[in-house]
Structure 1
Amino acid sequence: MSKQQPTILVVNDDGITAPGIKALMETVQQLGRVVVVAPDSPQSGMGHAITIGKPLRLDRVELYDGVEMYKCSGTPVDCVKLAVNRIFRGKKPDLCVSGINHGLNNSINVLYSGTMSAAVEGAIEGIPSIGFSLDDYTLQANFKPCLQYVRQIAEQVLQRGLPSGTLLNVNFPAGDNLKGIKVCRQAHGKWAEEFDERMDPHKRPYYWLTGEFQLNDQGQDTDVWALDNNYASVVPVQFDMTAHHAISVLNSWGL
């Protein structure tokens, strides 16, 4: 950690008034100066979407005493981009933390998650970044059991940094029986979606996304296994999506 107090950008996808971002903000305030930039409304499932073709609003708000906070009309990724370009004006923060999300972002969910995409954007900007999620969707979610680990992980990243091009995806099981932390890999799984067809009052069909998660991975080194066994899962994530193992295969095609 630098001699000067580190600056920490706090973002999320559940919106600026979500209990999870309050818990995260209050925890990392113990480690440095906090600036909060979050969507003005929930943006779950937005992935790495950005706003193009319409204006963005960024307004200072006073929700908590002594905390510099802004609400943004855009996506979680917009929040990070605006923070870097307009609030920090090129002097990047020492750490970007996203969450604490209401609901898990393990396995394939990392691709859809606004929480994790905000952290990915931080990493793209060269900022050490972490996404935090808890397996509880309710507004009454109990974040207390995981906060010591949030602080521990954030403090380690501030002190040690992260390997180039990587960030951390951290997920917590719900409940008071958290055993500790497991560094692991992303489980192989997918969503088997269904679309429930319904009729509006004008007799026009509309569709409601449903489905279930299908796990195709019984490994005991995965985030799903860790969470099922009451451990926090920590998965190092990279935004370079190159399938390096396939390059030699494509070269063999003689393209």
Structure 2
Amino acid sequence: MKKPTILVVNDDGITAPGIKSLIEVMQEIGNVVVVAPDGPQSGMGHAITIGKPLRFDKVDLYPGVEMYKCSGTPVDCVKLAVNKVFKGKKPDLCVSGINHGLNNSINVIYSGTMSAAVEGAIEKIPSIGFSLDDFAQDADFSHCKKFIKTITLQVLTKGMPESTLLNVNFPKGANLKGIKICRQANAKWAEDFEERTDPYKRPYYWLTGVFENYDKGEDTDVWALDNGFVSVVPVQFDLTAHHAIPVLNSWDFNDMAVKKTSGADGQSLG
């Protein structure tokens, strides 16, 4: 069988340890092409670069891997890969990560890692985002590799439902109990901004916060990770709240009376 072509991206930058581990797994499966930011781009979400030119340079970091670094965002990397590297011929798979830090629950909205995978799915490429609960630069990704390979081979073999991608998160530590298919937990960061003062007596702020879980279900990604499982959440980029459409259709938009008011000169303001 012909080896699949796999696009590898991330948001921690092309030299991050996490992407090295992901490349190593993907090399066991197929032909790897890497397009990644030239520096950290965490928390960029689905941002794209429109106000300045992008730099896009070939680099030689790992033997046998075609690699490019990009001055833009993770989503820019996917767009450039499709348009300039593959020239419109799509790869068989897009994988993003392995991210240093979790992208469970609401974090999926802010994540550059997941947004790169979402962009792959928008391009109709089967896509997966991988993240580990460890922000350390020397994080150990070795216990993730066998699960990454298993999940990747399943996606390549079975395919993905239309307009869907996978969000995969790993707990820290080697004693993983297995894989659990989950829903996204109802949880969020309760942010705070720590105020400090610079040498010129001007205030500046550091974002801080506490992660709050409002969801007690045992079918969520937060529960799975807290209990030693690899969480796998199917994600879609259609943000329509389909359950709300019947509610809005019950509202009276067409027969609402238009209230007219007058200005000081007596003329109607509409």
Q: Same fold (TM over 0.5)?
A: yes
Deviation at 1:39, TM superposition (A): 0.2
From 127, 130, 133, the equivalent of 1:132 is 130
Deviation at 1:125, TM superposition (A): 0.3
Quote the Cα distance in structure 2 between the aligned partners of 1:62 and 1:36. Answer: 11
From 96, 99, 102, the equivalent of 2:97 is 99
Q: Which residue of structure 1 aligns with residue 114 of structure 2? A: 116
How many residues are aligned here? 253
Deviation at 1:65, TM superposition (A): 1.2
Deviation at 1:254, TM superposition (A): 2.4
Structure 2: 5+ residue runs without aligned partners? 254-270
Q: Which amino acid aligns with 1:211?
A: G
Q: Which residue of structure 2 aligns with residue 224 of structure 1? A: 222
Quote the Cα distance in structure 2 between the aligned partners of 1:101 and 1:118. Answer: 12
Q: Does 1:88 align with 2:112?
A: no
Q: Which amino acid aligns with 2:102?
A: L
How high is the sequence identity, in percent, across the aligned residues? 75
Q: Which amino acid aligns with 1:154?
A: T
From 185, 188, 193, the equivalent of 1:187 is 185
Quote the Cα distance in structure 1 between the aligned partners of 2:48 and 2:232. Answer: 26
Quote the Cα distance in structure 1 between the aligned partners of 2:63 and 2:175. Answer: 33
Q: Which residue of structure 2 aligns with residue 203 of structure 1? A: 201
Q: Which residue of structure 1 aligns with residue 212 of structure 2? A: 214
Q: Which residue of structure 2 aligns with residue 163 of structure 1? A: 161
RMSD of aligned C-alpha atoms?
0.6
Q: Which residue of structure 1 aligns with residue 249 of structure 2? A: 251
Q: Does 1:75 align with 2:73?
A: yes
Q: Which amino acid aligns with 2:190?
A: A
Q: Does 1:57 align with 2:59?
A: no
> SS where residue 143 of structure 2 aligns?
helix
Q: Does 1:238 align with 2:236?
A: yes
> SS where residue 233 of structure 1 aligns?
strand
Quote the Cα distance in structure 1 between the aligned partners of 2:63 and 2:222. Answer: 38
Deviation at 1:236, TM superposition (A): 0.1
Q: Which amino acid aligns with 2:105?
A: S
Quote the Cα distance in structure 2 between the aligned partners of 1:131 and 1:190. Answer: 19
Deviation at 1:183, TM superposition (A): 0.3
> SS where residue 155 of structure 1 aligns?
helix
Q: Which runs of 4+ in 1 moved over 2 A?
A: none
Quote the Cα distance in structure 1 between the aligned partners of 2:212 and 2:93. Answer: 34
How big is each residue's C-alpha offset from its partner over 1:11-46, in whole Å with a ceiling of 9 and x where there is no partner? 000000000000000101111100000000000000
Q: Which amino acid aligns with 1:193?
A: E
Deviation at 1:176, TM superposition (A): 1.1
TM normalised by structure 2 equals 0.93
**Larger Rg computed on CA atoms:** 2
Quote the Cα distance in structure 2 between the aligned partners of 1:66 and 1:171. Answer: 28
Deviation at 1:139, TM superposition (A): 1.3
> SS where residue 77 of structure 2 aligns?
helix
Deviation at 1:86, TM superposition (A): 0.4
Q: Which residue of structure 2 aligns with residue 36 of structure 1? A: 34
Structure 1: 5+ residue runs without aligned partners? none
> SS where residue 83 of structure 1 aligns?
helix
How big is each residue's C-alpha offset from its partner over 1:132-188, in whole Å with a ceiling of 9 and x where there is no partner? 000011111111111000000001101111000000000000111111100010000
Q: Which residue of structure 2 aligns with residue 172 of structure 1? A: 170
Q: Which amino acid aligns with 2:7?
A: L
Q: Which amino acid aligns with 1:128?
A: P
Q: Which residue of structure 2 aligns with residue 144 of structure 1? A: 142
> SS where residue 76 of structure 2 aligns?
helix
Quote the Cα distance in structure 2 between the aligned partners of 1:28 and 1:39. Answer: 19
